Amino acid sequence: MSWTQYAIKRTLSSVFVLFGASVVIFSIVRLIPGDPAQVLLGDTAREQQLEVVRRELGLHRPVWEQYFIWLSDVLTLDLGRSYMNNQLITELLAIRYPRSLQLAVLTMILATAIGVPLAIWGASNRNTSKDYVALFFSQFGVSIPSFFLGVVLILLFANLIPIFPPSGYHSFFDHPLANFVHLVLPVVTLTVINAAIITRYLRSEMLENLNSEYVQTARAYGHSERRIVLKYVAKNALIPTITVIGIQFGGIIGGVVIIEEVFSYPGIGLLLLDSILRRDYPVIQMSLLAIAATFIVVNLIVDLVYGYLDPRIRH
């Protein structure tokens, strides 16, 4: 199968996955206990008032009918409005999503830049102090809770030594420097965790490859250890690591609620959290769909790159 055929096949299957995701998302959202009308009106609302609001929100219709109305709206790019404040969901996502995207992109660039060399350095010096440094970093990063690290960094670098702001966000276009300094602490927090995962995964891949026969053959041919590690082993070990990086990227977009909460960083995670707490179904559904779409697109890109780098995958 040529790469083009492979790409078309994978793209089509991604569309089906996205459709499946929409069904799952819609169903899960409806399964969460709690009535949006009740949340909207508060615990003192009377039944008659609740009924009016339910009808207004279309919640009196059968669930399958609600799903098809939602799906047809999404397909015509009418994402609807928030139950709570009537804001256009298109606008909400247009503001919040890029912020999380920026956070995720910077985190993954930094995490990769730290994690990859550290893993290669550790694995190629196995059981030495250098390897222990890499191991310690990866253990530390995967063990420490992100909210704890975030608060510690705030206390250290915003309170004790006030060099970075503890929270907030500024536009990159209006205030590039302010945008950068506001991102430092959340990005560092996420980087420590994600770089540790990359280090851990790549190191073990490296070790597996270093013990394989082709490496022994290369050594027998007299290739230098540096060449073997960088040219052959790292290259092979990096291919599966790309998948991990892709998954991490999607995970950051949808899973940084705690970090966004700690740093009051107004990304899609907080939007989703608020929407869930208020049972704002349209916003929950579209936020989850946006996150699912990110996962699917990132995985598609990873698969396409993977298929390009390793033609065996295409067969």
Partner 1 sequence: MATNRRSDREVTELNRRQALTLLGGAGSAAMLAGCQDIGDDDGDGSTLHVQLGGSLDSLDPQLAGLRNTQVVVNRVVEKLFEPDLEMEMQPVLAEEYELTDDGGSVIIQLREGVQFHPPYEREMVAEDVVYNFDRVSDPDTGSPRQDNFDNLEDWYAEGDHELRIDFEEPEPALEATLANTGMHILSPDALEEEGDASSHPVGTGPFAFEEWVTRDYIHLVAHDEYWVDGVPGVEEVYFRPIEEPATAITEIQEGEIEMLHDVPLDNVGQLEDDDDVEVQFVEAPDLRFRMMVNASDNEIDGRAPGAPTQSQNIRQAIAEAIDQEDFVEIAAGGHAEVGQTVYPEDNVWGVDYQPFSVNADPDRARELIEESEFDEPVELTMISASDEDDLRTLGQLAQDQLNDAGFEVDLEEMEIASWVERLNAFEWDITPNHGSHSPDPALKRFERMFWTDEENVPYYDSPDSNADRVFEIFEEDSTDLSQEERYELYAEFQRLLCDDAVYLICCHPQNAHALRTYVEDFEIHPMDMYFPVHNARLEH
Residues engaged in binding partner 1 (CB under 8 A): 32-36, 38-49, 52-53, 56, 84-87, 92, 94-99, 101-102, 105, 151, 154-155, 158-159, 162, 165-175, 178-179, 261-264, 266, 270-271, 274, 276-279, 301, 308
Q: Which contacts (CB < 8 Å, 24+ apart) does range 17-21 have?
A: 17/296, 18/289, 18/292, 18/293, 18/296, 21/289, 21/292, 21/293, 21/296
**Nearer of residues 47 and 213 to partner 1, judged by Cβ:** 47
**Nearer of residues 48 and 129 to partner 1, judged by Cβ:** 48
**Nearer of residues 98 and 117 to partner 1, judged by Cβ:** 98
- Give the integer Cα–Cα distance in Å for 81 and 92: 9
Q: Indicate the SS3 state at residue 81.
A: strand
Find the shortest distance in angstroms from Cβ 101 to partner 1.
5
**Nearer of residues 166 and 282 to partner 1, judged by Cβ:** 166
Find the shortest distance in angstroms from Cβ 142 to partner 1.
23
Q: Indicate the SS3 state at residue 214.
A: helix
Find the shortest distance in angstroms from Cβ 211 to partner 1.
28
For residue 62, give the amino acid letter. Answer: P
**Nearer of residues 29 and 123 to partner 1, judged by Cβ:** 29
**Nearer of residues 46 and 226 to partner 1, judged by Cβ:** 46
Contact indicator for 302, 246 with CB cutoff of 8 Å:
yes
Find the shortest distance in angstroms from Cβ 128 to partner 1.
33
Find the shortest distance in angstroms from Cβ 166 to partner 1.
4
Residue 81: beta bridge partners? 88
Find the shortest distance in angstroms from Cβ 20 to partner 1.
25
Task: Supply angle C-alpha 286, 291, 292, rounded to 5.
Answer: 95
- Give the integer Cα–Cα distance in Å for 149 and 267: 19
